[in-house]
Amino acid sequence: MEPHPADKKLFENLSGSGKAIGVLTSGGDAEGMNAAVRAVVRMGIYVEAKVYFVYEGYQGMVDGGDNIVEVSWESVSSILQVGGTVIGSARCKAFRTREGRLQAAYNLVKRGITNLCVIGGDGSLTGANLFREEWSGLLEELAESGKIDEEAVKKYAYLNIVGMVGSIDNDFCGTDMTIGTDSALHRIIEVVDAIMTTAQSHQRTFVLEVMGRHCGYLALVSALACGADWVLIPEYPPEEGWEDKMCVKLSENRARKKRLNIIIVAEGAIDSHNKAITSEQVKDLVVRCLGFDTRVTILGHVQRGGTPSAFDRILASRMGVEAVLALLEATPDTPACVVSLSGNQAVRLPLMECVQMTQEVQKAMDEARFKEAVQLRGRSFENNLKTYKLLSHRKQDAELPKSNFNVAVLNVGAPAAGMNAAVRSAVRVGITEGHKMFAINDGFEGFAKGQIKTISWGDVGGWTGQGGSILGTKRTLPAKYLEKIADQMRTYNINALMVIGGFEAYLGLLELSAAREKYDEFCVPMVMVPATVSNNVPGSDFSIGADTALNTITDTCDRIKQSASGTKRRVFIIETMGGYCGYLANMGGLAAGADAAYIFEEKFDIRELQANVEHLTEKMKTSIQRGLVLRNENCNENYTTDFIYQLYSEEGKGVFDCRKNVLGHMQQGGAPSPFDRNFGTKISAKAIQWISKKLVETYRKGKVFANTDDTVCLLGMRRRNLVFQPVAELKGETDFVHRIAKEQWWLKLRPLMKILAKYKTSYDVSDSGQLEHVAMHRPKEAETGAI
């Protein structure tokens, strides 16, 4: 496809012709770095720039020679699913000296490289910024010593730098998620889930040490994701006397028939006097005070290894493309910037502002200003900490407020991984707020039959890591049971409803809302939290369960691609779920490096199918002799998976052969990913707090009476914030026939997948990140898509 006339101007402005981009990875490796390298190379070549690998980080830049090599499109094939960094990373003492930087400048100028894309941590990025500031001085010095001529000094007068943060610790201020963090959480959660089964068998206590020398993000989020009993992090040291409090809590949990205890310790954990707390100390404490059988597991470098998660691949691919755009738009006056993510928005931030703020956190911790350290870490970190404290420490009954309100929770629609984490969170926050919590089994059908029971704090213990829906869920809508549901609401005196589910949950709330005229019982606050693998609920960019499904698709595609490594020239056609929503097919295509993804939202015809076949035929002539095509299950009623398979088989005869796979219900199963556990946990906590507020507002003359539109809401993630939206207002945004939102944010990422698969397409740069400044205190209600 050629660029649209309206976009052509943008493409001409952003031509990279005559420019050379160097890409390097530096500092500690992180899963997803290769996806970023691949995106930089391919986007660079796409805009007609020359792209160079700088092997072994700054060491390679100083050494020059074979360490700086021009690369082609095929150079980055098959690296998307590989962990670590294929271009190597090394700590470099020489680059810290001016002589080293002088040599590096010479090696770059020799090749005409004046654009650098640095993927690393804050140390690597600070070094890059210093290099940029010294650049003109270094060139003059080289000219004086006769190594380069005056012409070169003028021609290569400015060095542009764009950074991407690759760090599993997520310790860089200004960005919600750094490349590698989500994958590291996957490794930790896999280990915790495995340890939980053995701990349960022997009634053991496990002390897990995770990485994070200066940042407790991994420890905090994994504690939130597995429901750990205690967590120790550097930003929030425990209060004096924490040892006794922790032991009391562990023994209380055992008394409640809990067969295991999990304590998570960040390697940089400290007490309020800045003294280190080690995992061995914690173990000795538990053994000494309680006599529990206790084991220590240090995760170490396991967290850095393995294949990157779907989230990290998509994040790194988006950041890589954004980095090239930032380099092409850079002028001598623009500061060196970092491309990062805020919510699901790409943003550019001045590099040194981020570095300074990151250093401020460390300074605050050194000076024991811990409250400030937590705030400086950003709103996502603060919210994680608040939620963890809310859910892990059960107050005594006497301490709890008594609201005298009854709140019911139910699951509706198909099961989605993370639903149980959402129910656990809702129940525990509800109890903390003083409500009596009820669980409804089997959706609206179970509601009508009276399958309702009270649910306690302990009942939901260990639910976060469970897949599917423990409460049971059905697709049935409430319309045909209105009379019976109203009776049950009256019988159990239910004052508020929380529904966790997909499109059926949304339709169900619309039906209950419409029935308010006839039944007073439905005049209560109702809130919905989106949970569906299809991610097709209007009013929310993300749904609980979609990330787990995406990881399943990505893992399967990796295996399928690997199966083709022995047999050359093979194309796989893979069918994904999603109803009419192409989210899984499109994002799965981006994460797995697919050649095409057919979706309902973007109409296609036989000419497009033919063009894809021709594109794959050309690809088979290169060294990459395999293809991957994803198809959403309902993208076209006539171009079925079988039809596309037969068409490709016929047209590709003699050039490639075909195989097809229908992924089916494996996309709905499995243990929830860290993202889904935490998104479910945090969004549910917020929903229950909204219910509490509405209950107080609508309580009049001894009863709850809520009949306005703003008392039936959907809580969704919108760009950078979690927002409550009345379901009545979302009607206008909904395509009810196809059960999708009329506008979907991820469609903007369609061209990205095509560019990275070597198609000519138009890429709307107007939506690329604008340079912003790092804000320290953001509005209280703002909540991010980061986990």
**Binding-site sequence positions for beta-D-fructose 2,6-bisphosphate:** 475, 532-536, 570, 577-579, 633, 659, 665-668, 739
Residue with tokens 């995992």: 279
778: left (phi over 0), alpha (psi -120 to 50) or beta: beta
Amino acid at 43: M
Only one residue has tokens 């703002």, namely 782
Tokens of 683: 């969004």
Q: What angle do CA 722, 723, 724 make, to 5 degrees?
A: 135
DSSP string, 546-568: HHHHHHHHHHHHHHHHHHTTTS-
Indicate if 169 belongs to the active site.
Answer: yes
Q: Are 339 and 322 in contact (CB under 8 A)?
A: yes
Q: Is there a contact between 571 and 605 (Cβ–Cβ < 8 Å)?
A: no
Bridge-partner residues for 119, per DSSP? Answer: 25, 164
Neighbouring C-beta atoms of residue 780, cutoff 10 Å:
9
DSSP code, position 570: E
Task: Compute the chain's Rg from CA coordinates.
Answer: 27
Q: What gap in Å lies between CA 685 and CA 425, rounded to an integer? A: 6
Binding site, residues? 28, 91-92, 121-124, 167-169, 204, 211-213, 267, 295, 301-304, 475, 532-536, 570, 577-579, 633, 659, 665-668, 739
Among the options 29, 63, 149, 169, which is catalytic? 169
**CA 518/CA 510 separation, integer angstroms:** 14
C-alpha to C-alpha distance for 580 and 601, rounded to whole angstroms: 8
What angle do the packed helices 310-329 and 33-46 form, to 10 degrees? 40
Nearest to 679 by CA among 780, 552, 784, 550: 784
Contacts of 82 (CB under 8 A, 6+ apart): 34, 307
3-state SS class at 741: strand
Task: List all residues 6 or more positions away from 642 whose beta carbon is below 8 Å from its beta carbon.
Answer: 660
Other Cβ atoms less than 10 A from the Cβ of 771: the count is 13
β 230-232/50-54 pair status:
unpaired
**What are the tokens at 372?**
């400030």
Separation of alpha carbons 570 and 624, rounded Å: 10
Q: Which amino acids are annotated as binding site for substrate, given as ranges?
A: 167-169, 204, 211-213, 267, 295, 301-304
What token pair was written down for 187? 């490794």
Rounded Cα–Cα distance for residues 585 and 562 (Å): 19
Q: Which residues are bridge partners to 473 per DSSP?
A: 411
CA dihedral 597, 600, 601, 603 (to 10 degrees): 80
Identify any residues that bridge with 22 across adjacent strands, giving them in sequence order.
52, 116
**Phi, psi torsion values for 623, nearest 5 degrees:** -80, -10
φ and ψ of 587, to 5 deg? -70, -35
Residue ranges for the known binding site for Mg(2+) are: 122
Q: Among 428, 671, 435, 652, which residue's Cα sits nearest to residue 545?
A: 671
Q: Which amino acid makes up residue 161?
A: I
What does the alpha-carbon distance between residue 47 and residue 214 come to, in Å, rounded to a whole number? 39
By annotation, the residues acting in catalysis are: 169
